[in-house]
Chains A and B, each alone.
Chain A
């Protein structure tokens, strides 16, 4: 049983591949894909979570697969960091797979078989990314992951918008992959050995290790969705079917965080504080940008995608602080920052998965994705509404759910700032904490908007059609509900029992930085979360929850006991104006109006206001991302220009091409002798 976690994880990944292939059989009715593939995939995910958990607590182990190219076999390794991410992948994929088995039930057989294939190849490739112990297998798995998710994004490829979203995704994914490849090239330094062990031992000069860091940060950042490489997220996430959006936003962008931590902390090593400052600045920008643009959206899935951008920013803030502390020689505070970042990674996977599944249930049942058309869904879909509320409270970082714990840990990391020697950096760290505080409060506003507009209020009429009398849609099916309940339970477990996860992450921190949390932090029992010392800070979510439920119940009982429970039902107060319609409610765009007012310069707005004497007044508002005009379109034009110049070389005549070959040969002979 020595190599149980590694071997077990390998079996799970192979099982996912097998399920992918089996999904293709009996194409007539896709029996396997319809009824068995996704539940089996979910079971495999559960097993992977268990193996991952085991790997965190076991010593690192390696193995070599007799696969790959001659003299270039695949190497696998399971250590605490990989184990943590395997657990994340397995546990979140379990919920999403169960949900998917309900969600995809009505697909036609051909499409279903293809989805089943791509979905499980996608899962397996993510497992291999985490298990890989050489650059070769890592890149193969990384590219498989990009391609399989590309095909999933373009499931509805007949729509041109979805095809172009898929193209953008593929483009940025490959830019990132190129940078990662170059990063491995820099670290490898021409020795011909691409195993991670060899890369670890490379011993780069500070200049080259900074180059490697920049390439890794850029490459993995492109996959994670940090600015300015975020443009694919709000396009690709809405285009994909909802369980796939949940997988991509919940897990896939986390593999980029895994890659970042693995390469920067483990392979390059010798973390410098200047790198941390860069990560912090980018992280703060990403956080604020993501949440402000999320507040402007009225397409539910686009909004969630922008929140993924924001949360990647929060993770980067944690990582950046950790790098600053390690760079200045305070590994204990550095470990705390790393733990906060990884905890947020796991939390975001859970609640963002849950929110995307909820959005999927709304889309499935009502065919609506524009918030401005929804309203009153809590009456037709009460159970979905309940799970979505948990996700919304969790992402808004409200105690006692899980989002709060990781933001709390990030704040505690920032509050370690007085130990730093450099005065400028010391006073900068709290400013990044201020960014985090602002983003947290803005997130709460955004989810009040989402929940209030979609689930509360009265059904709005869409376009000219009146709203249906009984409201829109019906509640989600059993499988969908189970998937959401699984992740909602995750929000509670991660929020209420943080200490056990803290101990787990501490092992990851020790394995990467050589030092973990203080003894006082490690000896606290499950009830108390203590990051450094009890006199400095402590938090007990269980007591918190018990007290809040207790006093709420006490208030209820006291009121009921001393007074009465009499209720009369009436129409809402109409302020003396009886002809109220549901269109008089706030819309999603109206809710964002204060933000447009306060943060106006951030947005690129085109607003058309009707004149007072307009007979048919129309109001229109278009908000665009500045990055398109400042970065993407100039780069696209430059590429177009360069290719048109290079195109001049192509004359289409054999003799000219032969001349090129001849000149190249001469050139080579001159230089290479």
Chain B
């Protein structure tokens, strides 16, 4: 398995995800602008923004601790790691066995803890507020996420992403009722974890409503660029986790160069559809009050649990 082509696939995928993630962000923004009857910005706008931020001088608060300056790199590293685990293009990647779905959730939790800590480092009221809200959403979303992942894990009898995808991709086309519940729950978690409407609004800077933006208020220049980039990779990773579980068709085996074009095309089509769908959702939905977020996420959790129970009912 650890042959040279497999390693090449691993590197290819990791680099591709990092480079393509801002494009996905740009696509979502463009779709949203179309849907909202605004003239759309270029799909490449996130790249221009990143380049601009990277060229600027970083402004840092006087009493920032090393943790504050370290965090953007840790966030970026965590998301890059996640991009290496998820089977985006191919299954059987050499790095994939190092972490299963539980470890993947752990990586996202690690990133969340670091960003919340960095938000509290400067000692402004916004930072603490953002950190508190982010952890609120996090502790509700994490168990819901695990439950949806466990549903898939029970179906395939494994917590390895590669095994799960192999099992699900090579089955006959049958609708698992448990997976349907899990898919809805996963979608809700995806919206919450990526700071999208209806839980958070990625474009707002209004004190009363912002969550993620409140945490990164003190960051500027290259640090901000890395965080924005990490956010884009996170959205990409979450979407591809969803593809791997619910629409795994078209994915290649590591080292199988012949299947690569198909896998790439399938990925592109899925991402284009999912990005447009996300923009549609964000246009149709209104942002929830913060204290409705627990209800939203606990229904996601219950749906995940229901999916799991249904799996046991149907199979047993």
Residues of A within 8 A of B (CB): 375-376, 378-379, 389, 393, 396-399, 404, 408, 411-412, 415, 417-418, 423, 426-427, 430-431, 433-434, 437-438, 440-442, 444-445, 447-449, 451-453, 456-458, 528, 534-540, 543-544, 547-549, 551-552, 555-556, 559, 562-564, 566-575, 580, 582, 584-586, 590-591, 593-595, 597-598
Kindly specify which of B147-155, B179-187, B242-250, B264-272 makes contact with the partner chain: B147-155
Asked if B173 is at the interface of the complex by the 8 Å CB criterion, the answer is: no
Neighbour of A430 across the interface among B57, B135, B150, B163, CB < 8 A = B150
Complex Cα distance A473/B145, Å? 42
Residues of A within 8 A of B24 (CB): none
Residues of A within 8 A of B147 (CB): 430, 434, 437
* A538 in contact with B100 (CB, 8 Å): yes
* B103 in contact with A568 (CB, 8 Å): no
* A598 in contact with B163 (CB, 8 Å): no
5 CB contacts below 8 A, A to B, read A397-B106, A434-B305, A559-B54, A572-B123, A573-B124
* B57 in contact with A543 (CB, 8 Å): no
| B229, closest chain A residue (CB) | A555
* A441 in contact with B143 (CB, 8 Å): yes
Q: Which secondary structure dominates chain B's binding surface? A: helix
Complex Cα distance A543/B97, Å? 10
Residues 131-159 of chain B, each 1 if its beta carbon lies under 8 Å from chain A, else 0: 11101101110110011001001100111
Given A378-B65, A539-B100, A552-B74, 14 new contacts (CB under 8 A):
A378-B67, A378-B121, A411-B102, A418-B315, A448-B113, A543-B95, A551-B76, A562-B54, A567-B58, A569-B62, A570-B61, A586-B120, A594-B133, A598-B140
Known: A415-B154, A441-B109, A585-B125. A536 touches B120 (CB 8 A): no
Complex Cα distance A6/B80, Å? 50
B189-208 interface (Cβ within 8 A of A): none
Shortest Cβ distance from residue A118 to the other chain B in the assembled complex, whole angstroms: 38
Residues of B within 8 A of A (CB): 54-55, 57-63, 65, 67, 73-74, 76-78, 80-81, 84, 95, 97-100, 102-103, 106-107, 109-110, 112-113, 116-117, 119-126, 128-129, 131-133, 135-136, 138-140, 142-143, 146-147, 150, 153-154, 157-160, 163, 217-218, 222, 226, 291, 294, 301, 305, 308-309, 312-313, 315-316
Complex Cα distance A468/B114, Å? 28
Residues of B within 8 A of A598 (CB): 136, 140, 294
Residues of B within 8 A of A437 (CB): 142-143, 146-147
Complex Cα distance A548/B73, Å? 10
Neighbour of A586 across the interface among B106, B128, B316, CB < 8 A = B128
Shortest Cβ distance from residue B104 to the other chain A in the assembled complex, whole angstroms: 9
Residues of B within 8 A of A580 (CB): 124-125
* A547 in contact with B305 (CB, 8 Å): no
* A547 in contact with B81 (CB, 8 Å): yes
Residues of B within 8 A of A393 (CB): 110, 113
Complex Cα distance A430/B309, Å? 9
Neighbour of B160 across the interface among A404, A536, A591, CB < 8 A = A536
Residues of A within 8 A of B226 (CB): 555, 559
Neighbour of A555 across the interface among B57, B73, B131, B291, CB < 8 A = B73
Neighbour of A528 across the interface among B97, B107, B163, B316, CB < 8 A = B97
Complex Cα distance A487/B136, Å? 30
Complex Cα distance A548/B223, Å? 18
Residues of B within 8 A of A590 (CB): 128, 132
* B62 in contact with A426 (CB, 8 Å): no
Q: Which secondary structure dominates chain A's binding surface? A: helix
| B138, closest chain A residue (CB) | A441
Complex Cα distance A406/B291, Å? 33
* A569 in contact with B60 (CB, 8 Å): yes
Complex Cα distance A145/B217, Å? 52
Closest 6 CB pairs of A and B: A586-B128, A552-B77, A452-B120, A457-B123, A441-B139, A458-B123
Residues of A within 8 A of B153 (CB): 415
* A452 in contact with B109 (CB, 8 Å): no
* A585 in contact with B128 (CB, 8 Å): yes
Shortest Cβ distance from residue B205 to the other chain A in the assembled complex, whole angstroms: 11
Residues of B within 8 A of A417 (CB): 154
Neighbour of A535 across the interface among B59, B78, B132, B158, CB < 8 A = B158
* B163 in contact with A536 (CB, 8 Å): yes
Neighbour of A547 across the interface among B97, B98, B160, CB < 8 A = B98
Neighbour of A594 across the interface among B67, B112, B136, B308, CB < 8 A = B136
* A396 in contact with B132 (CB, 8 Å): no
Shortest Cβ distance from residue B257 to the other chain A in the assembled complex, whole angstroms: 24
Complex Cα distance A426/B154, Å? 11
Shortest Cβ distance from residue B233 to the other chain A in the assembled complex, whole angstroms: 11
* A539 in contact with B98 (CB, 8 Å): yes
* B128 in contact with A537 (CB, 8 Å): no
Complex Cα distance A538/B159, Å? 8
* B159 in contact with A536 (CB, 8 Å): yes
Neighbour of B110 across the interface among A399, A540, A559, CB < 8 A = A399
Residues of B within 8 A of A556 (CB): 73
Interface centre among B84, B120, B218 (most CB of A within 10 A): B120
* A537 in contact with B158 (CB, 8 Å): yes
Residues of A within 8 A of B65 (CB): 378-379, 456
Shortest Cβ distance from residue A411 to the other chain B in the assembled complex, whole angstroms: 5
Residues of B within 8 A of A449 (CB): 135
* A586 in contact with B129 (CB, 8 Å): yes
* B97 in contact with A376 (CB, 8 Å): no
Neighbour of A567 across the interface among B57, B138, B159, CB < 8 A = B57
Shortest Cβ distance from residue A542 to the other chain B in the assembled complex, whole angstroms: 9
Complex Cα distance A548/B75, Å? 10
Complex Cα distance A434/B131, Å? 24
Known: A426-B316, A444-B109. A534 touches B60 (CB 8 A): no
